[in-house]
Each structure stands twice: as structure tokens, then as C-alpha cells.
Amino acid sequence: NAGVMQNPRHLVRRRGQEARLRCSPMKGHSHVYWYRQLPEEGLKFMVYLQKENIIDESGMPKERFSAEFPKEGPSILRIQQVVRGDSAAYFCASSPPGQGQSPLHFGNGTRLTVT
Amino acid sequence: KQEVTQIPAALSVPEGENLVLNCSFTDSAIYNLQWFRQDPGKGLTSLLLIQSSQREQTSGRLNASLDKSSGRSTLYIAASQPGDSATYLCAVRPDTGNQFYFGTGTSLTVIP
């Protein structure tokens, strides 16, 4: 049973470009969370999605950031017109339905560097 | 807003020692609490999940306790090994809302 898969592992973008981060949850998991980890800081919640629905995006910056979790395929975190401050590790986590009782499972993250 | 604090920020112990990592949270209205380890450049590995109705959970050499009313959890590691070296994070899920709140972690080094 494969774990949470994130790709790419490392992504380098120039300022102004777009970054697309992908997350395939564990088999049977329909809940996806995105977190951002800045150096020397804890993980900060960005968005929580279920299939085809954004449930909570209270941690997502209002501009340039968007997320989706389509019926088919991985969840995508999209950052438009990246700036240096977007450089961070972005982690995806998933959980099954009835997610309150189950642990979160994390992927290995995508490390975004904006030059 | 829930705030999660982990003390100490870093800990170095000789191999074989038993140790305790601490996690405190400001709002006791939690649904569950989860302990993770994170190795450098890697993701988070789930260690233990404690539901709010539970007092402790055990897995091998690890034991996590929860005192919800005082806003504290501890992770006890018995007979530490060099392979235990990692950053340990605790995360709290509140009764309401969808996000987990993370502490900044304790960086553990076990010296052979």
C-alpha cells in the first residue's frame, strides 16, 4: 500500500513563474490537507479538501494560491507568479473518511526554491 | 486560537537513556493529538495518535500520554538509540475546525 506520494520532490522556479505541486493520497483516503513549512518554523495549515470540494482554505493566502482535488487524479497546489517568500517545503497529508478517528499520513514534501 | 509549544527545542542524550519530550497546548477543547517524527529532508512519520478520551498510547519503546485538562502531552522514549535521532512534532486537532496545529518540534540527537 503506497503512502502519500508528492511530486516533484524539488522544484526550482524563477520569480514570476508558476509552481504546480502534486499530491496523490493513500489508497482509500478521500481527505487531503496541504501544509507549508518555512525554515525554523512549524507546519502551517493551508487548505483542506475532499474530492471535488474545498472544505477549508482559511490558511491559504488570498492571492496567487489555489488548490484542487478533482474526482480523478491527484490534488494540485498551484502558486502563480511565485516570489522568493514562497520558498518553503510544502507537505500534503491524507486521511480516510471518518478522518477524526484516524491519523494523518504525510508525504515527503515538495521543496520549492524561488530564485 | 490554539497554540502548541514544545520544550525543549533541542535535546542531546547518550544512547540507552530514557527521555521525555513535552508538548503543551493552550485550548483544552481538542479532538485528538498526534506525535510525529521528521527526519532531515523528509516528510512526517506518524508515531502515535491519542484520542481526547484516552490517557495514553504505546507503541514499542514509545509511550505518549495526554492530560487534556492541563493542556499537556508527553512522549516517552525508552532505551534511546541513535536511530531515534530526528525532530519530534506534536499536532493537536481541535474539537471544531479542520486543521491540525503543530508545535515547532524537539530536535533529538542520540549519541552512540
Is some CB atom of chain A closer than 8 A to the CB atom of B32? yes
**A92-113 pLDDT per residue, tens:** 999 887 756 678 899 999 999 9
Q: Of A26, A91, A102, nearest to B102 (Cα)?
A: A91
Largest separation between any pair of C-alpha atoms in chain B? 44
Q: How far is B73 from chain A (nearest CA, A)?
A: 16
Residues of A in contact with B51 (CB under 8 A): 101
Render pLDDT for B68-84 as a digit per residue (tens, 0 to 9): 999 999 999 999 999 99
Residue with cell 515538495: A110
End-to-end CA distance of chain B: 41
How far does Cα B92 stand from its chain's mean position? Answer: 10
Separation CA B90–CA B102 (nearest Å): 6
Decide if A1 contacts A27 (C-beta within 8 A): yes
Which of A2 and B55 is assigned the larger pLDDT?
B55
Instruction: Inspect the interface and report whether the beta carbons of A106 and B102 lie closer than 8 Å.
Output: no
CA–CA min distance B107, chain A (Å): 11
